[in-house]
Amino acid sequence: MTEQEQSYMCTTDSNDYKEWAWFQEHLEFIAAYKAGRLPKPKWDFQGGPLPLEYGVAYAEWILNTPEIRDIIYRRFILGHYDNMTEGNLLSDAVTYFSRKIGINTHAGVLLSHCHRPIAKILQGQITGPKAPEYAEVLLRSKYAFVDEP
């Protein structure tokens, strides 16, 4: 285990997810969607990649959301992939964030490409979401992100 891995402290427990503020709002989005009350997405999926700015915004949100940040740490740094609840919560986080910023959730699935680079941020291998290295990693997946609005 590296020094960075030893210095990170998880402060959340995924068993408490029903109490998390973002998850409560996610449930409200689901109810609004089922009732047909969600507004039309600002950016609809047309088979193309997302603007890089969405990947940056998603990483910033995750890094400021301890529950999801801890899941990224446990899964992508410690290798704890067997927790199905946490896998589902990562999917829920992608859906929630997509709806929150007003993009089609089918396009939002591309945000999952940010998870490993975010782990690199947590490990100190990338300085942050606005670092050129972060953009470089995301832009390697030409079908997921492009550096244009």
Report yes or no on 60 lying in a domain.
yes
Torsion angle (degrees, nearest 10) of CA 81, 134, 12, 10: 80
18-33 confidence digits (pLDDT tens): 999 999 999 999 999 8
Of the listed ranges 7-11, 121-125, 129-133, the one predicted with least confidence: 7-11
Residues facing residue 145 across a β-bridge = 50
pTM above 0.75, yes or no: yes
Lookup result for tokens 């915004």: 57
Amino acid at 8: Y
Assess if residue 42 is contained within a domain.
no
Residue 29 lies in a domain: no
Task: Locate 95 and state its tokens.
Answer: 């859906």
The dihedral built from the CA positions of residue 51, 55, 60 and 61, taken in this order, carries a sign that is positive
User: Does any domain span residue 33?
Assistant: no
Looking at residue 102, what is its pLDDT? 85
Print the domain residue range for 75. 51-149
Contacting residues for 66 by C-beta, under 8 A, at least 6 apart: 11, 12
- Does 11 map to a domain? no
Split at pLDDT 50, 70, 90, the class of 46 is low
Q: For residue 26, which of 89, 113, 71 has the smallest C-alpha distance?
A: 89
Residue 26 lies in a domain: no
Question: For the chain, how many structural domains are there in total?
Answer: 1
Is 130 domain-assigned?
Answer: yes
Selection from 70, 83, 81 nearest residue 119 by Cα:
70
CB-CB contact of 118 with 59 (8 Å): yes
Residue with tokens 């959301």: 65
| pLDDT, position 44 | 59
Residue 92 lies in a domain: yes
